[in-house]
Amino acid sequence: MPQGVTITNATLQLKCTAVHGTPTGKMVFYRILQDWDQTTITDKSSPGYTSQDSVVVDWPKSGEWLSIDVTKIVQYWYDHPESNFGIMGHCAGATMPGTGAIEFNNMYYGNSNQRPILNVSYTTPNRCRNKRTKSSFPI
């Protein structure tokens, strides 16, 4: 993206491929604060994250697309590009912890039309008017 833009909207779209058990509570997406490796993450270890700009959503159903408004997170990344370590989803407020899990397609999923997508709309500075642009990024 060009310099000086303002992020007006950013939506992360994730395809839910499976629901295991009965998830309770809400799903929360957090901005990750440090570098991490997907081969070493377990349910007992995760990178540091912040609740600043976190997003709370309902659990999706299997086969549904989940759209998450990540505008504030993407604007933060744009302003601080060295801090973009991704987003982490986690359960919050579960009435029965450990009774459910969700699977989403990842960037390696065979059908490229069902991989995660980050849609970003932004305005660029202009002497006469703001120009609106929308970009989609496969992730």
Give the range of the structural domain holding residue 94, as residue numbers without chain letter. 15-113
Query: For the residues of 82-103, what is the DSSP string, one character each?
Result: GG---EEEEEES-SSTTSEEEE
User: Is 7 part of any domain?
Assistant: no
User: Is 120 part of any domain?
Assistant: no
User: Is 125 part of any domain?
Assistant: no
Chain segment 19-35, per-residue pLDDT in tens: 888 877 888 999 999 99
Burial class (CB in 10 A: 0-12, 13-18, 19+), 7: buried
Chain segment 69-128, per-residue pLDDT in tens: 999 999 999 999 999 999 998 877 766 656 678 889 989 999 999 999 999 998 887 644
User: Is 10 part of any domain?
Assistant: no
User: Is 56 part of any domain?
Assistant: yes
Q: Mean pLDDT across the stretch 37-42?
A: 81
Q: Mean pLDDT across the stretch 56-67?
A: 93
pLDDT at residue number 13 = 95
* Inter-residue contact 124 to 135 (CB < 8 Å): no
* Inter-residue contact 136 to 113 (CB < 8 Å): no
Q: Which of helix, strand or coil describes residue 67?
A: strand
Q: Mean pLDDT across the stretch 28-57?
A: 88
Split into its structural domains, the chain has a count of 1
User: Is 139 part of any domain?
Assistant: no
User: Is 127 part of any domain?
Assistant: no
User: Is 103 part of any domain?
Assistant: yes
pLDDT at residue number 40 = 81
pLDDT at 130 over 90: no
